[in-house]
């Protein structure tokens, strides 16, 4: 098993400060997994830990999977690498001009196909749930999701009706924008390092 924390630290993927997340919430920690994913060998090692667990679930008859889908942007490389390691097709959803997560570029889901959703970081699960909605609308079934880092707060309700497999579980400290402790201190301005617009 890989030392995920060490790999993320060495890559500069674990950041501390004052961050505005895509969910609209504020946090004192941010995972910039693009810094991990720029190193194929390190990404393969981290995602390989999750792939091994999925492979075991499949071998023991608890899961079946036909494809992997990652929400753009953060899930594209993660989905590709998981698909490569599991021998499954991998593609992605992306937001249209209205900000709705959609399947484009000729990607298709056949009715009844069993799909794994792959993400870089899960905090509120918004992108995963939006991707699941698209999968269901096309007749597919979400059987699991995976991520590099599971940041759901320790006391948060589980947003998924399927299992989540994470390489690292690191609960986030989150604040609503109008009740952020870091904003009240006023020492560090909030920065938005992610790629997604806030809708």
What are the tens digits of pLDDT across the range 114-130?
999 999 999 888 889 99
Structure confidence at residue 110 (pLDDT): 92
Average per-residue pLDDT for the chain: 89
Note whether 20 and 178 are within 8 A (CB): no
Q: Locate all alpha helices (DSSP H) within the chain, ordered by sequence.
A: 4-11, 34-37, 40-59, 75-86, 126-137, 181-185
Structure confidence at residue 194 (pLDDT): 64
First to last CA, the chain: 38
Positions of the chain with pLDDT lower than 70, given as ranges: 1-2, 194-199
Structure confidence at residue 24 (pLDDT): 83
Note whether 4 and 42 are within 8 A (CB): no
What is the spatial order of strands in the sheet that 14-20 belongs to? 14-20, 26-31, 174-175
Domains and CATH numbers, the chain: 4-185 (3.40.50.2020)
Chain-centroid distance, C-alpha 78: 8
Structure confidence at residue 199 (pLDDT): 42
pTM: 0.86
């Amino acid at each position: 098993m890989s030392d995920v924390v060490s790999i993320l630290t060495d890559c500069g993927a674990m950041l501390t400060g004052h961050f505005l997340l895509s969910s609209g919430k504020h946090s004192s920690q941010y995972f910039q997994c693009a810094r991990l994913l720029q190193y194929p060998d390190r990404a393969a090692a981290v995602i390989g830990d999750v792939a091994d667990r999925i492979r075991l679930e499949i071998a023991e008859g608890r899961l079946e999977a036909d494809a992997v889908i990652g929400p753009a942007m953060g899930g594209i490389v993660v989905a590709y690498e998981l698909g490569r390691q599991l021998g499954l097709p991998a593609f992605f959803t992306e937001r249209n001009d209205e900000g709705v997560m959609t399947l484009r570029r000729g990607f298709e889901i056949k009715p009844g196909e069993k799909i794994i959703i792959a993400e870089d970081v899960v905090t509120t699960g918004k992108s995963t749930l939006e991707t699941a909605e698209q999968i269901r609308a096309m007749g597919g079934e979400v059987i699991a999701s995976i991520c590099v880092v599971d940041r759901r707060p320790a006391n948060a309700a589980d947003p998924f009706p399927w299992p989540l497999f994470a390489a690292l579980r690191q609960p986030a400290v989150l604040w609503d924008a109008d009740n952020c402790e870091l904003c009240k201190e006023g020492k560090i301005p909030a920065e938005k390092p992610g790629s997604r617009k806030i809708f």
